[in-house]
Amino acid sequence: RMSRHAKKLKDHDINPCVAETDATTKCMSDNNYNKDMCTDYFLKYKNCRTFWHEIMMQRKRNGVKPEMPTAEERKKILESMG
């Protein structure tokens, strides 16, 4: 059974970076946990987290709920950016 924390990490409405998390984990597994082989994946994950954290803080400042956009909202935000 998955822990509550693990479930949150896999919930697309809570974690906007599920794909990046999974890709990083797969890369680490495929490369015998050699971090140097997965630098690009770590960078993509970090960029994802930074981007959505900024969006979340902006929404918080503006009093928008929920602070983290749902998966559907995030898709629209990304599409509007090209």
pLDDT tens for 26-74 read: 999 999 999 999 999 999 999 999 999 999 999 999 999 999 999 999 9
Has residue 64 been placed in a domain? Answer: yes
Has residue 1 been placed in a domain? Answer: no
Number of domains in the chain: 1
Q: What is the pLDDT of residues 37-46, one digit of tens each?
A: 999 999 999 9
Any alpha helices (H) in 1-82, and if so which ranges? 4-10, 18-30, 39-61, 71-81
Nearest Cα to 70, choosing from 56, 51, 50, 49? 56
Has residue 6 been placed in a domain? Answer: no
Has residue 39 been placed in a domain? Answer: yes
Has residue 32 been placed in a domain? Answer: yes
The domain of 67 spans: 12-81
**pTM confidence score:** 0.83
Has residue 7 been placed in a domain? Answer: no
